[in-house]
């Protein structure tokens, strides 16, 4: 595979770190534009890019603002429009680089929320949307004090940071993945009160409008996900009835792409994308 690190400016002037993995085929099938999860970064998806590349797909992604090697205060956004415009720019960059290839939008966890919200708001010209372990219902809902802090103080002290409380052992049953996550200098456990307040409103709105989602959609979730509850995906799919494809894995934790079943997960995604390209 060919790998390249890229950079661009966000609409509000932040330096955004990005990267692309291209398969070793003459004509790739499509470009998969990835939005990663909270507290992590895009380099954790190199093995996903390799799996996609073997099936002819380019993986195009960036570090979220306030994450990894991108600019911005750690774990903070001013509004959901920050994230929406960052996806706008990713699509602009992908289309500049690959003007003749179709696009897919793929998001994990908080990135899954972003791509669902983006699909509802922007209705982009993509072949389909994939959302894994979407964080529409999360363990934070059980931490009432944090929820109250975000709702009450999010507007007054939006930049104030608190710990996410995410348990690394809940991301995967693979101990090597957990230890790599713990030791990764580009991973952080910070979230601002403003970010929290924003996402509480965004997840509520996104679920309420799930039935209006008009793009081909693949929802994937582990049944043992203790970070983003499986109800996130089942509720969204239920609102769409037979208009979305839902896949659940017994015993699987939060990061399906880092679970023992990862090759099966990758196969489900690439076969689903192959089918969308034939439509």
Report the relative pairing of strands 161-163 and 128-132 from DSSP bridges: unpaired
Question: Predicted confidence band at 165 (pLDDT cuts at 50, 70, 90)?
Answer: confident
pTM: 0.95
CATH number, domain with residue 189? 3.40.50.1820
Domain coverage including residue 259: 2-278
The per-residue pLDDT of the chain, averaged, comes to: 94
Q: pLDDT value at position 214?
A: 97
Report the relative pairing of strands 103-108 and 128-132 from DSSP bridges: parallel
Ranking 43-52, 158-167, 193-202 by mean pLDDT, the lowest is 158-167
Crossing angle of the two packed helices 144-153 and 193-208, in degrees rounded to 10: 100
Q: pLDDT value at position 30?
A: 98
Per DSSP, the residues of 57-114 read EEEEEEPPTTSTTS-SSTT--SSHHHHHHHHHHHHHHHHHH-TTS-EEEEEETHHHHH
Q: Is the pLDDT of residue 166 over 70?
A: yes
Q: pLDDT value at position 52?
A: 97
Q: pLDDT value at position 51?
A: 97
C-alpha 201/C-alpha 270 separation (Å) is: 32
**pLDDT digits over 98-112, tens only?**
999 999 999 999 999
Crossing angle of the two packed helices 110-122 and 80-97, in degrees rounded to 10: 80
Q: pLDDT value at position 152?
A: 65
Quote the number of domains for the chain. Answer: 1
**pLDDT digits over 216-263, tens only?**
999 999 999 999 999 999 999 999 988 999 999 999 999 999 999 999
* Choice between 154 and 197, residue whose per-residue pLDDT is larger: 197
Q: Is the pLDDT of residue 18 over 80?
A: yes
């Amino acid at each position: 595979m060919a790998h390249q690190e890229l950079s661009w400016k966000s609409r509000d002037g932040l330096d955004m770190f990005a990267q692309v993995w291209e398969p070793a085929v003459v004509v790739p099938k499509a470009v998969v534009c990835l939005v990663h999860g909270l507290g992590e970064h895009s380099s954790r998806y190199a093995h996903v890019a390799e799996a996609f590349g073997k099936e002819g797909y380019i993986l195009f992604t960036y570090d979220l603002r306030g994450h990894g090697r991108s600019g911005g205060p750690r774990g903070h956004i001013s509004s959901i429009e920050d994230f929406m415009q960052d996806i706008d720019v990713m699509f602009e960059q992908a289309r500049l680089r690959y003007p003749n290839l179709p696009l897919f939008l793929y998001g994990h966890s908080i990135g899954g929320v972003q791509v669902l919200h983006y699909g509802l708001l922007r209705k982009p010209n993509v072949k389909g949307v994939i959302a894994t372990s979407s964080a529409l219902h999360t363990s934070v809902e059980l931490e009432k004090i944090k929820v109250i802090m975000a709702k009450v103080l999010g507007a007054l002290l939006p930049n104030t940071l608190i710990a996410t409380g995410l348990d690394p052992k809940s991301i995967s049953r693979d101990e090597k993945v957990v230890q790599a996550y713990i030791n990764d200098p580009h991973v952080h456990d910070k979230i601002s009160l403003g970010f929290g307040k924003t996402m509480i409103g965004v997840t509520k709105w996104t679920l309420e409008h799930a039935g209006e989602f008009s793009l081909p959609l693949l929802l994937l979730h582990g049944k043992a996900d203790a970070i983003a509850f499986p109800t996130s995906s089942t509720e969204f799919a239920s609102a769409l009835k037979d208009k979305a494809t839902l896949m659940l894995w017994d015993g699987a934790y939060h990061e399906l792409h880092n679970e023992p079943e990862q090759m099966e997960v990758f196969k489900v995604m690439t076969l689903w994308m192959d089918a969308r390209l034939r439509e």
